[in-house]
Amino acid sequence: MAPSEGGAVIIVDADSAQAAAVAAAVRAQGHAVTVATTAAEALGCLERDAPHVLVLALPLPDMDGLDVARRAGLLPAPPAVVLVADRFSAEESLMALEADAAGVLVKPVDVARAASLIGRLAERRRRRHEQDEFTEKLRTLSAMTGLITSARDTQAVFNALARAATMLLGARLVHVWVDDPREQVLRVRGTFGLDPEFERPLTEYEIVPYGSGMAGGTFAAGHPEFIFGVRTSPRWKNRRLAEAAGLHAYAGLPLMAGDRTLGVLAIVFGDRGDFSVEEKELMQRLADHASFTIVRAEAREQAERDRARQLLTRARLRLGESLSGRVVASGQPLIVEDIAQDTIQDPDQKQAALRVGYRAYLGVPLKVGGRAVGALGVWGRAPRSFAPDDVALLSAFADQAAVAFEEARLHAETREREREATNLARVTAHLASSLELHRVLDLITWSAKELLRCDAAGVWRYDESRDGLVVYRASGMPIERIAHILVKPGQGLAGRALKERKPLWTRQLSEQLQDDAPDASETAAALGLKAALAAPIVSGDDAYGVLVVYRREADDFALREVTLLSTLADHAAIAVRNARLYSETRQREDENAQLYAEAHTQRERLARIFDSTSDGIMFVTREGRIEAANRQSGDLLGVDADALIGGDLLDLLDDRLAETGAEDGLPLSLRTLFTHTEGGEGDLPLPRLKRVLHWVAQPTTEGGGTVAGLTITFQDVTRDREISQMKTDFVSFVTHQLRTPLSGIKWMLELVADAEVPVEIRSYVADARDASERLINLVNDLLDISRLERGRLEMRPQPTDLGALTTSVLEEVAGLVREHAHRVSVSGVDDAPTVIADPQLLRQVVLNLTSNAIKYTPRSGDIAIRISGVGDRARWEIKDNGIGIPREAQRRLFEKFYRADNVFAVETEGTGLGLYLVRLIVEQFGGRVWCDSEEGRGATFVFTLPTAGWHDVSEREEDPARRG
Ligand code: ADP
């Protein structure tokens, strides 16, 4: 396996020891690895390295891991993502699904297994990228080849070549320079520049003398040149252009045909380093195409010249001494009044004429384009003279005949051209559409035989294991008769064509083969094949075989025929290459399918976890659209889970509530969930389903901190709520019943205290009064709670100074503080924000939190109160270094009657009502309360309140039962 460049793998893990171990194992497999410990670092690496695999160990210290995965997914070539976590709970599974993870690893990580998974993914990703690039190149090349074989205009071909070179190689400018041997210069014949502005100044440099400038130098050198830093090269002429276009590297490839240099393909790049082997190969292929185009254009010109010469020679074919021959030679009318008297004519011909009874002759030339190509003659049976009118009449006939003659010839030639073009087009079209090699080669073999008017044709394939050519396809001869023949490279006609990489022909095939391959010689003789023309099928350095056509006559082959067969052999080479690429592509596709299947299984596994949790889980976009939902969320809401996906959450809930006959409609907290995106939680009663769901929404943020949506979990809390309702009802009932007798007892005890009683009795009475006082307080608390719960407590919201309120509470508890020898510090009292709340209720909040801190902190503790304003919210915080709260208890602290287990050692008395009341009051005024603690290390309680106040309060109905 070849090592990949750059950070092929990025491992993001806050645990650097684990990251290092995995990294070492992946490196050992030959992959470059970058390790990052934070998300910020990882994002930098992602941009820079364009990795194949991203390994994300959750959680990350500075960012949501899912965000990193999402950003990676937006890259032009996204890496495969592997998630690592302690366990894969429902939430992590959802995340893995979200991140399109290709794999998951559970901590502690098995390093060998992890490295093998990562290595496999990296390798496959790399191959897929390569394949994509490759396919793109193939498409462009194939389109260009089509153009080259079909276009008659060489200029268009060169421009297309330059364009293809620019696109395929990422070059800035490409020129095709063609040799003009008469002037000893190179001329630009095709250009393409990424920026037309840079193409323009080139017109100043359309011609360069041999040996001058970059292209001239390459032409003289006769081999490819790769030059970096062109701006400082003395050979670079147009400095202004180089600077304006930021040009840096130059690749010059001579266009070769045999040992002849025809021109130069010059490719100029912006800032870049060395060229890869593949790039150089591609450049060479493009140069080959350009050479081929030039050779073909030359061959066409040559064919035109040949045709002109043939016309001339045809005029001389007739015997100069014949009558018609004289007319053609002179181009003038000829009158012979008496053939018997004529002394110029060839005696044999003369005798022949006289024998048939001809005595007089008038001939006029047949002229095409001013040149005589034949003669039209009339003979008389007696000697006679011809008048000028006779000559004019015959000349008029001759002119008409000449036109018809020329038309017929042109017509025949056009037909021939058409036939060639259609056949070539068929080959080309087939080439592009069919990837079955034997079919394309059959078509090429047959076309070669037909187009070159031969008797047979065959493709000979080079068999590496036998180091020789064997027949692969044949047309016009029985393949089984030649199947046994093996021709070594360099031997016979085909062997030499293969070795020398050029077309060759012979008039005497069997004689040619006699020494090298007697077998083949015999067969050729037996099949009656005499003349043969062979063209090698090569692509780059790769020689596939030879295309051969055979004739039964010992003919020569015209240049046009050699060119045509070479073109067909080139087509065959492309077909071979395509077929190989195709089979490679198929193989890669199979591998990809396998990879996909694996990923699919992983995903299914995650989906099963997602579905198997008892909570309902949904992912909802910012706009409220449900993107994912597990089966339980459907079950809990009483709808089909599949029907949930794609729907609007709020509409759906509205509908559900309307159906289930809820009076209050959707809870406000759920309705406003999407207006601000902090998340939240609350209850959702579904009366007709006789069910209460508790929902918790957590924002899911993406890159840049913007909220992509919310993950909402639903839990069935029907039983919890029922029990809690029963508690409330019971307490409400009991407290009402207790209040009156308790007040009676307290009143009696006060009477007794005032009476004349012995001293020891007096102290019992005082104790009893304290106890009754506490009982009354408890009952009052319970009554407040039950009223607050039912919304039946009178409130007088007004601007309240949190600072002053805190100071007054501290004064009240000063005795208690002294008793415990605590140190209390307060900050922010003087510029404390003003909140709109009922001062008496708020005082209760501050008092409860402060006395808790005093109670649950062992002697000589530190208590710090801090008041501040954050945005439009006031924040009140109390921090102690007391016994703290066990982790599992923290969640339940604000529940009614709840006390953590660790308090009983310190303070046995307590009701578990204080914090519950705190929460009810704070939430009543639109605020929030929470705590943060580590057991044994102290606790911090915080509440926030809006400074703008809460407007709805004054409209509440007054409660006459409110305590004074
Ligand atoms: P109570 O104090 O009567 O038990 P609260 O509702 O005021 O009831 O408090 C509930 C529970 O919260 C307490 O029993 C205790 O476990 C815990 N708690 C409250 N404040 C503190 C604190 N400052 N430090 C440690 N635990 C606390």
pLDDT digits (tens, 9 = 90+) for 9-55: 999 988 888 889 999 999 988 888 999 988 888 888 888 888 889 99
* Confidence label for 329 from pLDDT (cuts 50, 70 and 90): confident
- Kindly indicate the confidence band of residue 431, based on its pLDDT and cuts at 50, 70 and 90: low
- 886 touches ligand 1 (CB under 6 Å): no
pLDDT value of position 353: 75
Peptide bond into 209 cis (omega under 30): no
Cα 58 to averaged position of ligand 1 atoms, centre (Å) = 34
- Nearest residue (by CA) to ligand 1, atom 14, is 899
Q: What is the DSSP letter of 915?
A: H
Rounded to whole angstroms, what are the CA distances from 432 to 146, 435, 574, 787?
8, 8, 10, 84
Nearest to 746 by CA among 774, 778, 775, 772: 772
Find the Cα–Cα–Cα–Cα dihedral 945, 950, 954, 958, rounded to 10°: -50
Q: Is the CB of 919 under 6 A from ligand 1?
A: no
Residue 174, CA distances (Å) to 193, 215, 223, 808, 837 in order: 6, 11, 18, 86, 78
Decide: 852 in ligand 1 pocket, CB within 6 A.
yes
pLDDT for the residue 314: 39
903 lines ligand 1 (CB under 6 A): yes
The string of pLDDT tens digits covering residues 640-654 is: 877 888 888 888 888
Kindly give the distance from the C-alpha atom of residue 896 to the centroid of ligand 1, in angstroms, as a whole number.
Answer: 11
- Average pLDDT for residues 267-286, to the nearest whole number? 82
DSSP string, 445-485: HHHHHHHTT-SEEEEEEEEGGGTEEEEEEEESS-HHHHTT-
Closest atom of ligand 1 relative to the 849 alpha carbon: 20
pLDDT at 470 over 80: yes
Averaged over 429-436, what is the pLDDT? 55
Nearest CA to ligand 1 atom 8: 912
Write the burial class of residue 745 (CB in 10 Å: 0-12 exposed, 13-18 middle, 19+ buried): middle
Write down the pLDDT at residue 458: 95
Ligand 1: atom nearest CA of 917 is: 6
202-213 confidence digits (pLDDT tens): 444 577 888 888
Q: How are beta strands 504-506 and 468-475 bridged, if at all?
A: unpaired
pLDDT attached to residue 219: 93
pLDDT of residue 601: 81
- 48: CA distance to ligand 1 center in Å? 53
Give the CA angle between residues 843, 845, 848 to the nearest 5°: 105
Give the residue among 220, 122, 226 at the shortest CA–CA distance from 169: 226
Q: What is the pLDDT of residue 951?
A: 41
Least confident among 309-323, 589-603, 717-731, 811-825? 309-323
CA 941 to centroid of ligand 1, rounded, Å: 10
Q: How much is the pLDDT for 70?
A: 82
In the structure, what pLDDT confidence band is assigned to residue 311 with cuts at 50, 70 and 90? very low
Q: Worst-scoring range by mean pLDDT, 218-222, 417-421, 599-603, 775-779?
A: 417-421
Tell which wins on pLDDT, 101 or 819.
Answer: 819
Give, using CA atoms, the residue closest to atom 16 of ligand 1. 900
- Torsions phi, psi for 842 (to 5 deg): -65, -35
662 phi/psi in degrees, rounded to 5: -75, 140
Cis peptide bond prior to 108, omega within 30° of 0: yes
Query: Which amino acid appears at position 963 of this protein?
Result: R
pLDDT higher than 70, residue 144: no
> Which contacts qualify for 651-656: CB closer than 8 Å, 24 or more apart?
652/626, 653/684, 656/686
Residue 941 CA: which ligand 1 atom is closest?
A: 23
Per-residue confidence at 942, pLDDT binned at 50, 70, 90? very high
Residue 775's Cβ-count burial label (10 Å; 0-12, 13-18, 19+) is: middle
- The atom number, within ligand 1, closest to the CA of 938 reads 24
Q: Which of 106-110, 356-360, 701-705, 874-878 has the lowest mean pLDDT?
A: 701-705
- Ligand 1: residue whose CA is nearest its atom 25: 884
pTM over 0.85: no
Size of the chain in residues? 964
Pocket flag, ligand 1, residue 899 (CB < 6 Å): yes
Name the residue of 813, 885, 894, 898 to mutate for ligand 1: max ligand atoms within 8 A of Cβ: 885
